[in-house]
A and B are shown apart, each in its own frame.
Chain A
Amino acid sequence: MTLHLLHARKFKTNVITVLLRTELTEENAVNNAMLAGILRLGCEKFPTEAEISRECEEMYGAALEINVVKKGEEHLIQLYIEVIKYEELFERAGSLIGSLLFEPLTDGGGFCGEYFELQKSRVREAIAGRINDKRKYALERCAEIMCENERFGVPAEGRAETLDRLTPQSVYGYYLRMITESAIEVCVIGDIEEDACIKWASRYFARSRVEIKRYKPAVIICGKRALKEVREKMNVAQGKLVIGARCGAASVGVDFYRLLVFNEILGGGANSRFFKNIREKHSLCYYVHSFLYRAKSIMIIQAGIDGNDYEKTLELIAAQIEEARDGGVTQDELENAKKTLITRTQTLTDSPQELTEFFMTNALLGDGAEVSDVRGFIESVTAQDARRSAAGINLDTAFFLEGI
């Protein structure tokens, strides 16, 4: 277990985040989804959801979350608690996290049957409910189609068929293996004495663990293939276009930051090429932007458009990338993108959540860069670098959720 502790006096709260790491597979995704919920439903000390809530309320409204998240080709269970800096709340919060994670409610060699069934219906609902947020649904479908033969193609909540095979005993067995073998990352941010923190961590996490798993980095696929186009019909007022592109950049080191700067120029915000052309010049959309799945070196481009504008929008998006590849980027564009990203590195220190995200991403990617190193990487990016990043981008899959 790795403990990251950051002393910060300026916040009103102390934050504990615990990540349990597993490989992204269908089995693990659905087991993690079940486990995250079952742990929140009760533990030995607080046997019901309501009692856990009451304990948090007593702690001046401690914010507690247990959820699953997909990051690169890993699937993680995240436990998070944030308490205000009143005396003894840190210890009490730390104790709650320890109880929830290590003292769950069991019943005859498995998890409590009632909680298993309740969580199973919730996970089933979460899977069926993917269609409710149309924009998010289109995003997930694109990633699943693009990476159907890769681990990344596994959906974050898992699949319903895999869910049906689980039992209270099998999920409990999975839980026991997980706390023994999973790599665990813990991040504490706040006004906490190192001793107090180590004392808490030792009490709960210092257990005999052998053969802790190692995780392979996400597979980055390079090379070109013809654009795969998939359309799906749904009763929607606005078509949701999502394009996945392979970028071929390493996920750690200066190469990634070259791509990051280019992404900002291309589709980062209101000053990007996508916004200025596709929205402002052609009035085709309200939102159009791009972002990166860093570990996979995949760029996702999203736009909400009228059903009839699919071809035109696709052409305009491709044209922006080609123009950058052939003609490069302007010095103004480059400097502005770098300024924006550097401001972000400065303001990330204003948020315990963003700081946690920064350290956890580093841990998952095996990246040792400090915030100041990141600034250095960004500053070093040249117009040539941005042009080369553009040249490395291959549009791979276009998914369009269109109206009936």
Chain B
Amino acid sequence: MITYNEKLDETLVSGCLQNGLKYYIIPKKSYAEKRVLLTVKYGSVDDTFMTGWKAYTAPMGTAHFLEHKLFDNENGSAFDEFEALGAYVNAYTSFNNTAYYFSCSDKFLPCLETLFGFVSSPEFTDSSVEKEMGIISQEISMYDDNPAWAAYFDMLSCLYEGHPAKNVVAGTRESIREITKDTLYTCYKSFYVPENMYLICVGGFGERDIELIIEASGRLLQGNGRRAETLLPDEHVNVVKRKSVKKMRVSRPIFQIGFKGREYGVTPAKACAYKLALDLFIGDSSKLREELIKRKLADDSLSFDYVFGEKYGYATLAGESEKPFELLEVCREKAREICENGFCEADFVRLRRKHIGRFIRGFNSVEAITSASAEYAVKDSDAFRYFEGYTQAGLDGCNSLAKEFFREEGYAVSVIEPE
């Protein structure tokens, strides 16, 4: 299917192949770069799933470990193969998915074959698993030293009791010690099936290139079977703990406030409305931000986001502040005001314009389009539908979402204080 969006002035070629793979191709005329990303809907939230009739729980950090190990094969590593083709290759694991991608300016077809090749041929041995322990332990230590990261995951532990949304993606040094080659094979067989994969291609692809991609993807990606069913616990709508405080070597307190969402199955329009509502509430031009700065409670380190997936969704507010709990009180007070009066229409119109402009700007970057598309794809959506989400989002939607901010028992704050 070929869709053209006039406002973006972009074309999307999308479809589903016989083998189950879904593809999203966005050609960028006159661009030298060609980027291809293959994503699997298997991330850190998928640790517990059905194998046959039984429930299986992999150790925390397995999806990420598997991502590392897929690069190795008996001949060496996929890095070597891409190097010989003059391409850059990398991968990442997040809450909802794992992604493998390469970037090149020519020879994209041999690169595509290599990508399908290594993702389709798992070779896990005891010694290679053991070797990776050291590397991933260092990766975990690197994150451990990041205070913003610590604040984030402490906040998630306050929000969620059993839901794996709170799990650290790379796991812990102790949890990865439990991973064996059998663990990896089990998880691989359960999730790395074509019907659970999505191909994103962005860059200087011509019409003929697109035909070749579609043909090669149908031919090279074999396999059948359904994706295993992820088992997720039911979560209470309220938070587990209201606050968490920890000490680390930082110059001033770092905080993360989380608002636990009560609904699931968020549509593009709803996700856009969430982002608009947060921007209206505490964005750069908001009265709340002005007041926080005036009272020396916040500065330009303040940021916000909305994150969601299967059976979870939360908004975050983060930054640095000398008095994070006082900041929290000022925000709560403002939230009460917004609940009563709603947001101002002129502000809404201006901010929607800002978000639309920023979305268009994002289309300059092959990398940005690719990683955003991967996130949308595993939610069975695409960039064009998200763009429409902004035009569909209304003031009423933002007002009702704002009522969710700071609902009693629905938010938590984690603070990292100076030692």
Contacts and interface: CB of A to CB of B under 8 A. Distances in A.
Interface string B344-373: 000000110111111011011110000000
Contacts of A351: 364-365
A211 to B, nearest CB: 35
- Which of A10, A12, A53 has the most chain B CB atoms inside 10 A of its CB? A12
Contacts of A133: 146
A121 interface: yes
Contacts of B203: 350
B251 A58 contact: no
B360 A84 contact: yes
Interface in A283-302: 283-287
Contact of B31 (A49, A62, A238, A350): A350
- Which of B131, B252, B284, B289 has the most chain A CB atoms inside 10 A of its CB? B284
Contacts of A10: 28-31
B299 A57 contact: no
Contacts of B9: 12
B325 to A, nearest CB: 19
Given A125-B299, A304-B141, A280 B77 contact: yes
B135 interface: yes
Contacts of A352: 364
A265 to B, nearest CB: 11
A166 interface: no
B135 A283 contact: yes
A12 B86 contact: no
Contacts of B305: none
Contacts of A134: 145-146
A176 interface: no
Contacts of A51: 285
Interface string B23-38: 0000011111100000
A286 B139 contact: yes
Interface in A1-47: 9-13
B340 interface: no
Contacts of B248: 235
Contacts of A347: 32-33, 103, 105
B357 A287 contact: no
B357 A59 contact: yes
B144 interface: yes
Contacts of B285: 50-51, 53-54, 57
A50 B290 contact: yes
Contacts of A280: 77, 131, 135
A58 B284 CA distance: 13
A70 interface: no
A362 B31 CA distance: 23
Contact of B419 (A82, A128, A235, A279): A235
Contacts of B80: 271
Contact of B350 (A57, A128, A237, A269): A57
A84 B361 CA distance: 6
Contacts of B136: 286
B296 interface: yes
B249 interface: yes
A231 to B, nearest CB: 16
Contacts of A135: 142, 145
A12 B363 contact: yes
A159 interface: no
A54 B354 CA distance: 9
Contact of A121 (B296, B320, B358): B296
A403 to B, nearest CB: 9
- Size bracket of the A interface: 35 or more
A157 to B, nearest CB: 12
B83 interface: yes
Contact of A286 (B142, B299, B419): B142
- Which of B351, B358, B364 has the most chain A CB atoms inside 10 A of its CB? B364
A275 B80 CA distance: 12
Interface string A319-341: 00000000000001000100110
Interface string A298-325: 0000001110000000000000000000
B50 interface: no
A131 B145 contact: no
B351 A57 contact: yes
B142 A304 contact: yes
A138 to B, nearest CB: 10
Contacts of B289: 50
Contacts of A271: 79-80, 83
A287 B142 contact: yes
Contacts of B86: 336, 339-340, 342-343
A151 interface: no
B360 A60 contact: yes
B84 interface: yes
Contacts of B300: 122
B350 A54 contact: yes
A101 B320 CA distance: 28
A306 B88 contact: no
A8 B272 CA distance: 31
Contacts of A346: 32-33, 105
B131 to A, nearest CB: 5
A170 interface: no
Contact of A237 (B29, B131, B141, B254): B141
A153 B161 CA distance: 49
Contact of B88 (A304, A332, A342, A343): A343
A351 B135 CA distance: 33
A61 interface: yes
A77 B88 CA distance: 33
Contacts of B90: 270
A155 to B, nearest CB: 15
B366 A306 contact: no
Contacts of A11: 364
A342 B104 CA distance: 11
Contact of A283 (B134, B364, B365): B134
B250 interface: yes
A61 B251 contact: no
Nearest to A235: B249
B55 interface: no
Interface string A118-133: 1001100100111111
A58 B353 contact: yes
Interface of A: 9-13, 48-51, 53-54, 56-63, 82-84, 118, 121-122, 125, 128-135, 234-238, 269-271, 275, 279-280, 283-287, 304-306, 332, 336, 339-340, 342-343, 346-347, 349-352
Interface of B: 9, 28-33, 77, 79-80, 83-84, 86-90, 103-105, 131-136, 138-139, 141-142, 144-147, 203, 248-252, 254, 283-286, 289-290, 293, 296, 299-300, 320, 350-351, 353-358, 360-361, 363-366, 419
Given A49-B290, A280-B131, A287-B142, 8 more contacts: A49-B293, A50-B285, A84-B357, A121-B296, A237-B142, A270-B79, A285-B135, A351-B365
Q: Which 8 A-B pairs have the closest CB atoms?
A: A60-B357, A283-B134, A339-B86, A61-B357, A238-B141, A61-B354, A53-B284, A286-B139
19 contacts: A50-B285, A50-B286, A53-B284, A54-B350, A60-B356, A61-B358, A61-B361, A62-B357, A82-B361, A84-B361, A132-B254, A235-B249, A283-B131, A287-B142, A340-B86, A340-B88, A343-B86, A343-B88, A347-B105
